Chain A
Amino acid sequence: MPNPSTPSQSPPSQSPPDPTPPGPPKAPTLDLDLTTHTLDNGLRVVLQRDNRLPLVAVNLWYHVGSKNERPGRTGFAHLFEHMLFQGSEHVDTNGHFKYVQQVGGMCNGSTWYDRTNYYETLPAHHLDLGLWLESDRMGFLLPAMTQEKLDNQREVVMNERRQRIDNQPYGQASEELFSLLYPDDHPYHWPVIGYMEDIAAATLEDVSEFFSTYYAPNNAVLTLAGDFDPDHALERVEHWFGGIPRGPEVPPVTHATEPLGGERRAELPDDVTLPRVYMAYRIPKVGEALWYAADVFTYLLASGKASRLYQEMVYERQIAQDVNAYVYPTELSGTLYLSATARPGIDPAEVETALTEGVERYASELVEDERLARARNRMLHQIYVQTQKLDGMADLLSESTTLFGDASRVGDEPQRYHDVDAEAVRDLAADWCQREERAVVTVVPGDRSANGNGVER
């Protein structure tokens, strides 16, 4: 497609009121061809037509994730996601993967703090297959659930936890960091995959209760992206999903994120040779102007060889092996996350100081226009890369609908990044990245068994 250059329809950003200096032209909007609709049972439907390839992406978001869990049953949203691939009333065990793969489709699901998603990309003429499978597990799951399947998937998930967390060098650092940054009763305190003993404790009654509470059309968004006629697609969605009854209203999870009022720290011995420093700050929630500023900030700090912390810590001083920064797109509170691995012989305290100073420098200094312009170009490129794939586009549309009630907002993402100016980055660094409001975890060489193996400490 040629470069779309239609002026954006997005509202002005919430950056400071002074007039914006003359800069590059407005950011382009993304090329969308949207139809949106809500079924009687509350299912929100988003259709994005794109006929460049004979494919269709089916993407279903349920607005439930690990933040809806309770202590003692952590990891349940994710275990439950596994159970959704164990068949439903009209689909046999593993039928979901079988039917999708045998027509040349791809499918999977994933669980996150705020949501659980299920998706398949199919040859376009198999749209009905995807709708049949998703509607059957939305409407007819429980008759297929058995103790044997639950026992099997608990084993699978415990092995997943071992593979990703407990048998990985540095694997336990992130969950330690979050457990310090968010207090015991905060829904982001525990890891999405959950603690081992909680995974082991899950019962069939939990499955049934979770399904009845959260897996209803009115708590879901269905997005189709690809090669279809929107009227026909909407008729097929109505056919498969229209008869599924509305569920009870799901109360939103709210939690005031109170100030920490003092830095939280931990040292974690692990089977590693090089120490690594992790730090995290609580920032505005996803979607706010300062969240976008934070995303740009992490680019400026640590993305690529031209970034500040890479240049300083990895290239010039050679005190770090690598440096990373990332922003979590979460809805109760965002999190800005940094890590750096110490070079052999370098004290992790020196690495921590360099990270801290790198962040705090921007609390008083404005980033140079040249760097900011480069970062904007990179963000724009990244948006184009991400939206090339139908499943990537569909997931963004489901996210935007779930979190903001508006799919078309995705088209204005380039503008939101474009609106981040030097003052917004400074405000983010000054107001949200303070030492007394952060958590720091240092992983050091040592005996991991001292920490317990994935058990709540």
Chain B
Amino acid sequence: MSTPRKPGTPGAPGAYAGHDAEPVPHAPIQRDQPPAAGDVEAFRFPSYHRTTLANGTTLLAARASRGPIIDFSVLFPAGAEREAAGEAGMATLLGGLLDEGTAELSALEIAATVERLGGRLSSGADWDAGSLSLQVLSRHHRRALELLLDVATGATLPPEELERQRSRRLAELLRKSTDPSHLATKAFSRAVYGDTAYGHSLLGDKDTVEALDRERLLDFYRQCYAPSGAILVAVGDLDPETLAAEAEELLQGIEPGSAPPRPDIQPPALSGRRVEIIDRPSAAQTELRLGHAGVPRSHPDFTALTVLNAILGGKFTSRINLNLRERNGYTYGAQTAFVGRRGPGPFLVSTAVGTPVAAAAAREVLHELERIVAEPVEEDELRDAQSYIIGTFPYTLQTVSGVVSRLENLALFDLPDDYYDTLPGRVRAVTREELLRVAREHLHPQDLAIVAVGPKEELEPAMEGL
């Protein structure tokens, strides 16, 4: 409810009153140093309800006061990590088909029903999971949960919808064939992960998408989209206990099933620096990617690597961004990431730079990688990174979708129940010595892939000798 309260003269609600307080004398104020902070207010990760339903589905639910809305998501062990050679694009194509028809509802009927609930439904897949998510006004929550579970467990993958999606995917691949960022990421994955599933493009390739057949999709769907392996998450204006009872009831009678074990992805060893240039003769800029395979999200060093990454390239004031952007003006921005996946996701440096300075920019990145494995970071760099990670944590939990993604992570990556409660303490406990150890263990500046997408004629001679 809107209750404008304002000091000053009365007027129309919300209009600006003149300044009628006592005039405040403006004595010179102390500006030379940042002001002292006030009292710290405690913050805790929202409490949540975790339970396993009768047919094996893991449910995580949290009440969060962010308005009369609820976000649901349901994840299945049906990510692209399971694709065999020749199946690139299968997981995302199947994920996209989930909301295109059940025995009772056509694709268009599903879409219209979702809108009536004031919501958005999306489905898809990434490396780790196939998923559906539904955001609705909370007054429709029961109908929404019913629709979500119907669609997830009762998808029929109609042949005509498969052909629609296939044709659209092929056009999408054609469209992306001139997108420099897409080309760079694709070449990088191939260079680092070779023939393993992580070497695929999530969207697949023309050949693999043309070859996918419906029987294989149905088979994959039956195996992997089963309640026993599912993770159901609900956050918002809801009561967790009631929701658990409703989900239990709605899933009754559906076979639990069991997905085959997850594959163990072993990236090939890289030795030396492997430079690859993708030619775009008329490019106005060069897209750069550097990196190698990293560690799984569940690795015990992941927290320390998050701190290391913040210092190296994970925030505006990181070494690599300040070097490439603020010192040299080579780019609008440069970032690094240890990408969290079930398996060993990449360590990746990404930037887009002027072509004449592309080689110089790559050298600066390599220099920063070499420096961070050679010597400990500064005390204040460590302290700043720790405060940054701890302080921005509540920021990421302002939205129901932010809370959903943290709860998904708990289940998807087998993290302990108190993982987010103990996060600030674990971040604060990281030392310079530990950062040096994890940098030396997990960063390999001598053995990595370097991908440049731009005018080859200009780039090739310049990149020689990296």
Q: Which of B35, B164, B280 contacts A318 (CB 8 A)?
A: B164
Q: Known: A33-B3, A38-B19, A162-B352. Contact between A99 and B8, CB under 8 A?
A: no
Q: Mark B107-131, 1 if CB is under 8 A from A, else 0.
A: 1101110111111100000000000
Is A67 engaged at the interface, CB distance under 8 Å to the other chain? no
Are A453 and B6 closer than 8 Å at their CB atoms?
A: no
Contact status of A321 and B108, CB under 8 A, knowing A304-B115, A408-B14, A448-B282: no
How far, in Å, is B81 (CB) from chain A's closest CB?
Answer: 28
For A33-51 the 0/1 string (1 means CB < 8 A from B) is 1111111100010000000
Q: Contact flags (1/0) for A387-403 with B, using CB distance below 8 Å?
A: 11110000000000000
A243 contacts across to B, CB distance below 8 A: 26, 29
B413 at the interface (CB under 8 A from A): no
Stretch from A1-9, A248-256, A324-332, A350-358 contacting the other chain: A1-9
**Chain B residues positioned under 8 Å from A385 (CB to CB):** 67, 69, 135, 399
Complexed CA–CA distance, A243 and B110 (Å): 59
Q: Given that A128-B35, A152-B326 are contacting pairs, would A106 and B395 also be in contact in the complex, using a CB cutoff of 8 Å?
A: yes
Report A413-457 CB contacts with B as 1/0, cut-off 8 Å.
000000000000000000000000000000000011100011000
A343, CB-defined interface residue at 8 Å:
yes
A interface SS class: mixed
CA distance A107 to B322 in the complex (A): 16
Most chain A beta-carbon neighbours within 10 Å: one of B18, B19, B280: B19
Nearest-neighbor residue (CB-CB) of B310 within chain A? A101
The answer to whether B394 and A53 touch across the interface, beta carbons within 8 angstroms, is yes
Binds B, one of A12-20, A173-181, A258-266, A375-383: A375-383
Which residues of B sit under 8 angstroms from A378, Cβ to Cβ? 115, 118-120
State whether A374 and B115 are in contact (beta carbons under 8 Å apart), knowing that A33-B3, A126-B37 are contacts in the complex.
yes
Q: Are A321 and B5 in contact (CB-based, < 8 A)?
A: no
- Asked if residues B391 and A162 are in contact (CB atoms below 8 Å), the reply is no
- Given contacts A128-B35, A156-B329, whether A54 and B392 have CB atoms under 8 Å apart is no
Whether a CB of chain B sits under 8 angstroms from the CB of A116 is no
Q: Which of A136, A343, A411 contacts B31 (CB 8 A)?
A: A136
Surface stretch bound by A, among B39-47, B87-95, B240-248, B266-274: B39-47
Is B120 a contact partner of A304 (Cβ separation < 8 A)?
Answer: yes
Contact A55-B398, Cβ < 8 Å, known A104-B390, A104-B391: yes
Q: Which of B14, B26, B354 contacts A242 (CB 8 A)?
A: B26
In the complex, chain A residues whose CB is within 8 Å of the CB of B26: 242-243
> A388 — which chain B residues lie within 8 A by C-beta?
66-67, 69, 398-400
Please give, as numbers and ranges, the residues of chain B lying within 8 Å of A3 by CB-CB distance.
Answer: 68, 138-139, 237
- Residues on the A chain within 8 Å of B37, using CB: 103, 125-126, 128-129
Interface-central residue, A121, A305, A373, A405, by most chain B CB under 10 Å: A305
The reply to whether B107 and A315 contact each other, CB–CB distance below 8 Å, is yes
Q: How far is it, in angstroms, between the C-alpha of A102 and the C-alpha of B315 when the chains are bound?
A: 10
B392 touches A90 (CB 8 A): no
A366 cross-chain contacts in B, Cβ below 8 A: none
Q: Is A198 an interface residue (CB 8 A)?
A: no
A166 at the interface (CB under 8 A from B): yes
Residue A73 CB within 8 A of the other chain: no
Which residues of B322-378 have CB atoms within 8 Å of chain A's CB atoms?
322, 325-327, 329-332, 352-354
- Count A-B pairs with CB separation below 8 Å: 301
For residue A274, CB closer than 8 A to chain B, the reply is yes
Q: Please, which residues of chain A bring their CB within 8 A of the CB of B180?
A: 167-168
Q: Shortest distance in angstroms between A174's beta carbon and chain B's nearest beta carbon? A: 16
Residues of A within 8 A of B329 (CB): 151-156, 159
Q: Is the CB of B388 within 8 A of A318?
A: no
Contact (Cβ within 8 A) B178 A384: no
A-chain residues with CB within 8 Å of residue B16 when the two chains form the complex: 36-38, 44, 405
Whether B429 is near chain A, meaning CB under 8 Å from some CB there, is no
Q: Which of A105, A131, A314, A377 contacts B118 (CB 8 A)?
A: A377
Q: Which residues of B contact A164 (CB under 8 A)?
A: 332
CA gap between A54 and B167 in the complex, in Å:
49
Q: How far is the CA of A411 from the CA of B14 in the complex (A)?
A: 11
A24-32, A58-66, A202-210, A287-295 - the one binding chain B: A24-32
Q: Which residues of B contact A211 (CB under 8 A)?
A: none
Q: Is B51 an interface residue (CB 8 A)?
A: no
How far apart sit A156 and B326, CA to CA, in the bound complex (Å)? 8
Q: Is A124 an interface residue (CB 8 A)?
A: yes
Interfacial chain B residues near A127, Cβ < 8 Å: 38
Q: CB-CB < 8 A to B3: which residues of A?
A: 32-34
Chain A minimum-CB-distance residue to B99: A305
Partner of B5, one of A151, A160, A230, A240: A230
The interface residues of chain B lying within 8 Å CB-to-CB of A238 are 24
Q: List 10 A-B contacts (CB under 8 A).
A: A9-B13, A30-B2, A36-B14, A125-B41, A159-B354, A271-B282, A305-B108, A315-B107, A381-B120, A385-B67
The 10 closest A-B pairs by CB, nearest first: A104-B391, A155-B329, A408-B14, A377-B118, A54-B41, A243-B26, A305-B111, A166-B284, A411-B2, A128-B35
Q: Which residues of A contact B (CB under 8 A)?
A: 1-4, 6, 9, 28-40, 44, 52-55, 89-90, 93-94, 97-99, 101-106, 121-129, 131-132, 136, 140, 151-160, 162-164, 166-169, 227, 230, 234, 238-240, 242-243, 271-274, 304-306, 311, 314-315, 318, 321, 341, 343-344, 373-375, 377-378, 380-381, 384-385, 387-390, 405-409, 411-412, 447-449, 453-454
The interface of chain B, by Cβ under 8 A from chain A, is 1-8, 12-19, 23-24, 26, 29, 31-32, 34-43, 65-69, 107-108, 110-112, 114-120, 135-139, 164, 167-168, 170-172, 174-175, 177-180, 237, 280, 282-285, 287, 315-317, 322, 325-327, 329-332, 352-354, 383-384, 387-395, 397-400
Given contacts A4-B1, A304-B114, A344-B174, 17 further A-B contacts (CB under 8 A): A28-B68, A36-B6, A36-B14, A52-B65, A52-B66, A55-B394, A90-B31, A123-B391, A125-B41, A129-B35, A156-B332, A159-B354, A168-B180, A242-B26, A272-B178, A315-B107, A321-B168
